[in-house]
Amino acid sequence: MICIRGAIQAENTKQSIWQETETMLREAIQANDLALEEIVAIQFTATADLDAAYPAVAARKMGITEAALSCVAEMKVVGSLPRCLRMNLWVENGKAQKEAKHVYLGGAAVLRPDLAGGKSFAVAIDGPAGSGKSTVAKQVASDLALIYIDTGAMYRAFSLYCMRLGLSTEQEEAVLPALSDFSMEFRNENGQRRVYLAGEDITQTIRTQQVGQGASNVARYLPVREKLVELQRHMAQGKRVIMDGRDIGTHVLPNAQLKIYLDAALEERAKRRLGELRENGQQATLPEVTAQIAARDDNDKNRQYHPLRQADDAIVIDSTDMTVEEVAAAIEQLAKERM
Ligand code: CDP
């Protein structure tokens, strides 16, 4: 039996405590190549300033159902790191303790600088609408225990926010005043990434063509991009992530270890998008969707700030004749070589 140590900081909200606990667990699972059944027990500790939730709940939600879990209070010592979650994770995998890879993440890296180096890892996926970025990214995230960050959902959330306020997304001066009060978040619920706007689950609501077009409009404005890019970088800092969008490899994460430019023929992308819309209960025809996608690509490729463009060091994958599994397998192979 070996024991893996971990630490990470969180905000004192249920969502943050669960999300950071999940990140810490995923990092430990990935770094030590663990199967969930090998986990025997986990003891979590939290500093006294974290009392909004039990971290063990996040482990159960991830499917760690057999292991013995407990949560205890960390000793209060003068000058110690605030808002810190720690864990001892016991594993039966036939390895020796000296092979254990401990995970000290984000702000908690200061606790063990000797162990924290080189833990972050990023896969950037860019490409036009309907090329399959989000479907593939979710698959890779799940297979390689990476955190998935859907940056398009952030632009879509701002688009929806503006539309609900009755602001025209086509006018920069109309939407910019709304930016300072806008806040969205990703939450993990039962192993799924959900998008929230002011406490409301908008995961499905933002998947319409109208919200997509509005997203493409607001994504042209520099202050909008700057605010969302800052959030995106913060979400990726010190973590192992896969992020998809339009400017990830070129601008948001220029040092990503792996950059993919995912493309597909326009007709194929339109067919996929139509399928998605119909599944979502929305009416549309193929010519309509093809025209909408082409217009959005045009908008995204020709805008002034951070347009959609293949990074010089990106690997191009054309998914026109590939299944989701094939694309995911190709990306996973490349990612493993670089980890
Ligand atoms: O799902 P789909 O590929 O159609 O779009 P999305 O990824 O949800 O993004 C919606 C819109 O947000 C895009 O058309 C872009 O204009 C914008 N976006 C962006 O400018 N930069 C990103 N990193 C992600 C999305």
Among 20, 27, 38, 104, which one carries the catalytic annotation? Answer: 104
CA of 24 to the centre of ligand 1 (A): 28
Among 60, 164, 278, 338, which one carries the catalytic annotation? Answer: 60
Residue 113: which pLDDT band, with cuts at 50, 70 and 90? low
Q: What average pLDDT score do residues 170-180 get?
A: 97
Give the number of the atom of ligand 1 that is nearest the alpha carbon of residue 299.
16
Residue 119: which pLDDT band, with cuts at 50, 70 and 90? low
Catalytic residue at 305? no
What is the C-alpha separation between 170 and 124, in angstroms, rounded?
28
- pLDDT at residue 117 is higher than 60: no
Tell me phi and psi for residue 126, to 5 degrees: -120, 160
Give the number of the atom of ligand 1 that is nearest the alpha carbon of residue 126.
23
- pLDDT at residue 182 is higher than 80: yes
Check pocket membership of 296 for ligand 1, CB cut-off 6 A. yes
Q: What average pLDDT score do residues 34-40 get?
A: 94
Supply the pLDDT for residue 104. 86
Closest CA to 34 of 7, 3, 55: 3
Supply the pLDDT for residue 190. 76
Cβ-contact 269, 261 below 8 angstroms: no
Cβ-contact 262, 131 below 8 angstroms: yes
Which span out of 117-121, 186-190, 333-337 was modeled with the highest average pLDDT? 333-337
Cβ-contact 68, 92 below 8 angstroms: no
Supply the pLDDT for residue 116. 55
Q: What average pLDDT score do residues 12-41 get?
A: 92
Beta-carbon contacts of 88 under 8 Å, excluding residues fewer than 6 positions away, are 3, 4, 5, 42, 43
Q: Token pair for residue 149? A: 């960050």
Give the number of the atom of ligand 1 that is nearest the alpha carbon of residue 128.
3
Check pocket membership of 216 for ligand 1, CB cut-off 6 A. yes
Supply the pLDDT for residue 237. 87
**CA nearest ligand 1 atom 4, residue:** 129
What is the C-alpha separation between 77 and 314, in angstroms, rounded?
47
Among 86, 156, 240, 296, which one carries the catalytic annotation? Answer: 86
Q: Token pair for residue 154? A: 């952030």
Catalytic residue at 112? yes
Measured between alpha carbons, how far is residue 296 from residues 107, 222, 321 in Å? 39, 18, 22
Q: Token pair for residue 129? A: 């609408």
Say what the pTM is.
0.71
Question: Could you report the per-residue pLDDT of 239-258, keeping only the tens digit for each?
Answer: 889 999 999 999 999 889 99
Catalytic residue at 193? no
When the pLDDT of each residue in the chain is averaged and rounded to a whole number, the result is: 93
Give the number of the atom of ligand 1 that is nearest the alpha carbon of residue 300.
16
Task: Give percent of the chain with pLDDT exceeding 70.
Answer: 98
Question: Could you report the per-residue pLDDT of 199-244, keeping only the tens digit for each?
Answer: 999 999 999 989 999 999 999 999 999 999 999 999 998 888 999 9
Q: What average pLDDT score do residues 306-324 get?
A: 96
**CA nearest ligand 1 atom 10, residue:** 152
Catalytic residue at 84? no
Catalytic residue at 272? no
Top-confidence residue, 114 or 94: 94
